Amino acid sequence: MIDSVRKAAKTPDEPMPFAELGMKPDEYARVKEILGRRPTGSELAIYSVMWSEHCSYKSSKVHLKQFATKAPKSEALLVGMGENAGVVDIGDGWAATFKIESHNHPSYVEPHQGAATGVGGIVRDIMSMGARPIAVMDALRFGGADAVDTRRVLPGVVEGIGHYGNCLGLPNIGGEVVFDPCYIGNPLVNALCVGLLRKDQIKLATAPGPGNKVVLFGASTGPDGIGGASVLASATFEDESHAKRPAVQVGDPFMEKLLIECCLELYAADVVVGIQDLGAAGVSCATTELAAKGTGGMHVDLTRVPLRDPSLRPEEILMSESQERMMAVVEPRDIPAFMAICEKWDVPATVIGEVTDTGRLVMTWEGEIIVDIPPGTAADDGPVYERPYHEPAGQAALNTDTPDRLERPSDLRETLLKLLGSPNLASREWVTSQYDRYVRSNTVLAQPADAGMVRIAETMAGAEHAPTTRGIALATDGNGRYAKLDPYAGAQLALAEAYRNVAVTGAQPLAVTNCLNFGSPEDPEVMWQFAEATRGLADACRALGVPVTGGNVSFYNQTGSTAIHPTPVVGVLGVIDDVARRVPTGFTAEGLRVVLLGDTREEFGGSEWAHVAHRHLGGLPPQAVLEAERALATVLVEGARRGLLAGSHDLSDGGLAVALAESCLARGVGASVALSGEPFTDLFSESASRALVAVRPEAYDEFASLCGRHEVPCYGLGMTGGDTLVVEGVFEIPVAQLRETHEAALPALFG
């Protein structure tokens, strides 16, 4: 028998399984207070999932606020935080929307599907802004490269990302792969998508206009990712078959590709009033959020939801996380046109309800009312926690255990080769060759470039007469070791590196997205890391003039009481006026001057050298000097605009030595350089705000004076040429040997 609103009113004392659904007693009491009665099973399903950490940000909200309150003024920001994704003005009438999101836990349970549906989810977020998705990237973290479980997780994750993205026809233009034992049991899969739209065609998740129809379209609904709801179904119906459901959703990229083309045609035909993708919390989330942001009311007949498994109960339908589904609000007169477009693309679409002005979200099942709630109470008024936090007990000891005590190497040639062949610095070819980087024919830069870059050359309704020379660049970065040593500085360094990676390609950094991966917020020490990291990131965004447009928080990345290193992953989007002026990575020709920008200090805390040579983590990370970072970017962007730079590469993990080696590997061009300071520090320190550029000799004076004007230290190190990397008086390594070392590592580990 159905647990209807009528039944709930008559049986006020019936116990409900709120604890099994992860709800605290006081949260359940609040639901009862809001409704003035006990919730029905379906209502409990909605509140439990909407008030979960994942959907409500209840532990992080108070800290995330800083991204808005400290946000720098930005004329480029068209849509800020709080929508499906932020939107940035990139000029000539075009706008870009981008966001990064985690799919960590599912990717551990089932690496292939977990990672695949991570890509699918973020792509739908971008689609729901009215945009055509144009590229993806992923920031990945795995346990030790030689750990047995990494051999299960990594190939599955890479295959999942590859299969889904490749079938969708989205170029994969970059990302990160980092190994550290702290991620064993808690791999991180952060997927980023960027989309393109006309500035005047932004769509929002809203359901205005009483009488407008609510359409569910895309895949049918099945028993995916509804572990929690099964408790309700079996508690209510004593049905064993509902108890065992797969926890991880399964993706169908073919349906998603059809959805993309279908949505773009729906937008072009102007038959969509509001739109929302179905991600976590499925129909619960889409209906409550659309209704809350619209006229305020909605009536939905859940019996009309097309099911893949006809035995699903309403509670399960509400919580199902079946993939490749969207919900649109459509004016009644546009329904025939809407349906015709869906039919053209073989996308099933069903009217399941309509917008009302009652201020209530009402759902029926076989004629009985099973949900009757004010939608804002589920969507917006979830609990907010001021979680206690304090500095971790071992933090001071960690910071005083500096790398100063570590023995310095005597053979720097050996040190470079060892670093270059280490899992974190070796060629990513084994991973990236499984991703299509060419589809859509707009990829200007992709891995191993510092940032991915695509030109703006999509044909789109309303843009027939809007040719542009512009392109966008994107990079993600995040160093968990730095953040472990100092979460405030670590988050700033993550932003600084992504910002620099965008700038070295010649693009002006414009906006930020972030994926904050942490342990349990109920652990005050983890919460301190989170508070520090968000504070650091918000301060750095203000200093660099790039606002946060959106992102995602992933808590509970821990095994037992051991949390991962705090890992804020930061994505930066930049714009280049003329893609033809992009700066390629590394040494692109012989006879170029090799120039180092920025100052080098003795900074080895959290460095790749300390990690590889001594398995040491202690001291403090490099200083984040944001004024220097900003000046460096100005010089790089202006240098590119004036055509002064023939090649570039940012300095980060492994310092100058690794940057030189990678620059030689880019086109197989050697170089000969001389150092002025102590060789080990010059070569392997990881001081921030530095980049390597290759400058044509005749352009050097102009570039040097540009650096002088912006107070960016500029050091001529030598010249490109030959087939060997020569560091005068220190070592000589043939480029062929660098390549062999660089390329052998991952295939040796993963086959």
The response to whether 125 counts as a known ligand-binding position is yes
By CB under 8 A, is residue 437 in contact with other proteins? yes
275: region left, alpha or beta (phi > 0 left; psi from -120 to 50 alpha): beta
Q: Cα–Cα distance between 6 and 670 in angstroms, integer?
A: 79
By CB under 8 A, is residue 455 in contact with other proteins? yes
Q: Cα–Cα distance between 315 and 309 in angstroms, integer?
A: 14
Residues 6 or more apart in contact with residue 649 via CB below 8 angstroms: 450, 504, 585, 586, 659, 662, 663, 666, 691, 692, 693
Shorter beta-carbon distance to other proteins: residue 276 or 443: 443
Least gap, CB of 52 to other proteins (angstroms): 32
Q: Cα–Cα distance between 184 and 302 in angstroms, integer?
A: 41
Residue 54 among the catalytic residues:
yes
Q: Cα–Cα distance between 471 and 197 in angstroms, integer?
A: 13
Could you give the angle at the alpha carbon of 736 between the alpha carbons of 732 and 740, nearest 5°? 110
By CB under 8 A, is residue 293 in contact with other proteins? no
Listed ranges 267-275, 414-422, 428-436, 560-568: which one lies at the site for other proteins (CB under 8 A) = 428-436
Q: Cα–Cα distance between 64 and 533 in angstroms, integer?
A: 10
By CB under 8 A, is residue 110 in contact with other proteins? no
The response to whether 323 counts as a known ligand-binding position is yes
- The structure tokens 């006309």 sit at 198
The response to whether 103 counts as a known ligand-binding position is yes
- Give buried/exposed letters for 387-415 (b at 16+ CB in 10 A, else e): bebeebeebeebeebbbeebeeeeebbeb
By CB under 8 A, is residue 442 in contact with other proteins? yes
By CB under 8 A, is residue 253 in contact with other proteins? yes
Closest CA to 281 of 108, 52, 31, 98: 52
By CB under 8 A, is residue 438 in contact with other proteins? yes
Residue in 368, 436, 522, 599 binding other proteins, rule: CB under 8 A: 436
Residue in 146, 346, 404, 728 binding other proteins, rule: CB under 8 A: 346
Q: Cα–Cα distance between 568 and 488 in angstroms, integer?
A: 10
The response to whether 249 counts as a known ligand-binding position is yes
What counts of helices (H) and strands (E) characterise the chain? 26, 28
Could you give the angle at the alpha carbon of 101 between the alpha carbons of 98 and 103, nearest 5°? 150
The DSSP bridge pattern shows strands 691-695 and 471-477 to be: unpaired
Residue in 444, 538, 683, 693 binding other proteins, rule: CB under 8 A: 444
Residue in 139, 526, 579, 671 binding other proteins, rule: CB under 8 A: 579
CA dihedral 696, 702, 706, 707 (to 10 degrees): 50
Least gap, CB of 254 to other proteins (angstroms): 3
In one letter, which amino acid is 389? Y
Binding-site size for other proteins (CB under 8 A) equals: 32
By CB under 8 A, is residue 435 in contact with other proteins? yes
The response to whether 552 counts as a known ligand-binding position is yes
Residue 103 among the catalytic residues:
yes
The response to whether 277 counts as a known ligand-binding position is yes
By CB under 8 A, is residue 441 in contact with other proteins? yes
By CB under 8 A, is residue 2 in contact with other proteins? no
Least gap, CB of 466 to other proteins (angstroms): 17
Q: Which of residues 42-61 bind other proteins (CB under 8 A)?
A: none
Shorter beta-carbon distance to other proteins: residue 365 or 435: 435
By CB under 8 A, is residue 163 in contact with other proteins? yes
The response to whether 163 counts as a known ligand-binding position is no
Q: Where are the beta strands (DSSP E) in 577-689?
A: 593-597, 645-650, 671-673
Listed ranges 276-284, 317-325, 439-447, 689-697: which one lies at the site for other proteins (CB under 8 A) = 439-447
The response to whether 57 counts as a known ligand-binding position is yes
Residue in 220, 434, 634, 737 binding other proteins, rule: CB under 8 A: 434
Q: How many CB atoms lie within 10 A of CB 451?
A: 33
Please report which residue ranges of 433-551 form alpha helices under DSSP H: 480-485, 487-503, 524-544
CB 214 within 8 A of CB 289: no
By CB under 8 A, is residue 138 in contact with other proteins? no
Residues 6 or more apart in contact with residue 235 via CB below 8 angstroms: 17, 20, 41
By CB under 8 A, is residue 345 in contact with other proteins? yes
Shorter beta-carbon distance to other proteins: residue 580 or 736: 580
**Alpha carbon distance, N-terminus to C-terminus of the chain:** 55
Shorter beta-carbon distance to other proteins: residue 418 or 437: 437
In one letter, which amino acid is 552? N
Query: Which residues face 616 on adjacent strands?
Result: none
By CB under 8 A, is residue 254 in contact with other proteins? yes
Shorter beta-carbon distance to other proteins: residue 250 or 439: 439
Residues 6 or more apart in contact with residue 303 via CB below 8 angstroms: 364, 365, 366
Residue in 241, 311, 400, 433 binding other proteins, rule: CB under 8 A: 433
The response to whether 390 counts as a known ligand-binding position is no
Quick note: the x/- pattern for other proteins over 373-412, rule CB under 8 A, is: ----------------------------------------
Shorter beta-carbon distance to other proteins: residue 432 or 663: 432
Closest CA to 171 of 152, 190, 150, 194: 194
By CB under 8 A, is residue 739 in contact with other proteins? no
Shorter beta-carbon distance to other proteins: residue 444 or 451: 444
Catalytic residues: 54, 103
Interface positions with other proteins (CB under 8 A): 159, 162-163, 166-169, 252-255, 257-258, 345-346, 432-444, 455, 459, 579-580
Known binding residues for substrate: 102-105, 124, 249, 321-323, 554
Known binding residues for ATP: 57, 99, 514, 551
Known binding residues: 57, 99, 101-105, 124-125, 249, 277, 321-323, 514, 551-552, 554
